[in-house]
Structure 1
């Protein structure tokens, strides 16, 4: 809507003119009124109007004087003159003052509407031209900034002139980059406009880049309060889009802007590895710092990762929340050490969790509905925005499985371990791996287990396997089948263990039973 000020010393005109026609239907809105030219001039200085409708004859300051005074500073504002006299002299002065129209009182509705329609068409055209001009200026400025940031070969004199033209000449610069993690239904132009209103030209200039929106800051006071105000101002505008905001170090020459941009961009690309929700800077601490320990062989690396599916399954089986937490951290550390990307990390976690679900599905048929729910939720692994969120989300899914299982009243750790062996004797069990899950030193766990059962861990496991082997032999299974089903990968080794604990070979034992 275009804004209108009515100026007339007659109250009947000031009050009646707003009701004469449906102003908004014609694109105009009466914002205010004044009783004389002097009052109108004051209101003009404090507000912005597109059209002033003024009486010619008024006390203190006439309409013509009002027009001439405003025209000294504003060549574009529009006027419609009101007069109670059909006087040629008044009309001549109105024409010389470049007014839109000249209306006699009482005002004719159709004549007023005709003037308004012509004026609206003119204002609409001007508005379109202004937007186009502003858009072209924005494109030119953006291209100039990008040429500096990408270190393009630009003439030094041209650079200096453009820095002054865009009000970017400064002694110190910093680059800020914004990436939006929730950009659905985002009006990027509106966001840029709001940021520009907050920062341009005093604090710097905005530009668009591949990641989102960037800013060149100039001469920012290097105080905590200054940066906090800067951060709060940005977040107030863009917080609903979940922004990640990186900031470069301060540079003192325009030639170093490309390095500052590269630094801020690299921080933005690696935001997944940081929990930072303030400015992401070179001083930001990663969630899990990389260690200089890397696998030389890819197959070893893959095998270690795959082994964590079994460890997590065992942690669920013995109801060890700590075991789940620590295994997830170990996986993350391994992946970070290998310099895995965000996408690679999410894919590895997805693969490991899928393997855990498969193991649970095969062993724990009573919780199939819960496993289905967890499986459907796995797609959200790819929506987690940093490593900490990702680990917490996967832990939440694993805890959902664990909480659905019945564990009875197994409060005693050694009883739980003993029960775990009785249920999983056929798997590849090692004391060291179980010590990790139960959060014990392996030697100490072995001593606790010996005190509890009277047997060393390996002896106890062998005896459990042999007892179950005897049952399978009784059912008529062949020796090699029994060996495999109770956890022995080598038939000869099974034969020796069986003879040690039973006193005869498996074949002889089966004949005796028959």
Structure 2
């Protein structure tokens, strides 16, 4: 008989886990149920348990903190993390604390049955996956990558929620193979850990994953490391992202193996000359937007045909800006840091080269003359605001706003922020959270996933993380604040 302790702050979910576990396998008996990690620690100090099943997010003491305490004080106790948050930072800690398994909600009887069978076969001995170099670590990026928090509504954000990745992977893997996927801190990216017995099978899987996702509506770059020890997977994700930044090409899907990629920048080319930069700068100085478009398009076409990376294109734009600032300091009407941030946002919003060039021209045209038209700005900002309010629960991206209002994303973002004090992305986020707060206040029985869906978040993890950032509380804490 396996003695089980459950730590879960939502009683209905706690009861569901208990009844499912005990109905699936009578060898598992839930002896204690706690509503937070601190209560669980008190029970564990006085009694030994074989298994602890814990939610990852709880008030007072989280499941990760509980797992850390168990790792230090009760190393023979097996910890099962249960969560609606497929976030790598949580999973990295789970791996560090030797957590036995990491299950994503909703939890079915089939998942519990598989878990109990694995516990019976492996408890008391090392898991095979921790001993063999049988793991692939994968970073997949839909569209462009993002350097830091963006003011734009990213086209790649909804790619993964609409991709059916769970079903795809379930159909791809054999019963002996496993995978976990996580949300990156970057909205357009996903992280995966996949186990397969042989290097040949690892290669086969990664190519099938690439084929499955590289022919959709956005280019996808997949960077991977094969032959990794499962316990070491957390060490590789920063390396994968470094390689993504070095090699991502905006309009091209790529499959990149870190085992063979160089860590240096020796292969970076420069398919433009000083004369190209000077001609673009001269066109900006003369306020000649037609010439600016022609020169910039010619350079970008050359860069595109040379498979230049996103990083190289950003580098060119910064060189153009810095050259203009040095040559014509008295004509410079904007701060370099602000313009460079707009370059990053324009790159992150990339859907096509034509739209991107139009966006960059709009930004560069403000260097020489950044006159404001309050009436026009106010009218357009109000129209954008009305659109955001009426469509807050739908898929809104910078490209959607651009098509709706006929202006490039950087222009819409710039004028909206001047009038409203926040970017469109920040505005719609705050509006969604206010709507979510009202839903929670009006109906405490709603699931977090249902609330997230209702206000336009297609992933409960991002909703909960955003809710915490905006309100200082997790949704479950907000729901329980008056109880």
> If the TM-score is normalised by the length of the shorter chain, which range does it land in?
0.3 to 0.5
User: Taking CA–CA contacts closer than 8 Å with sequence separation of 6 or more, which of the two structures ends up with the larger relative contact order?
Assistant: 2
TM-score normalised by the chain length of structure 2: 0.33
* Higher share of residues assigned helix: 1
TM-score normalised by the chain length of structure 1: 0.32
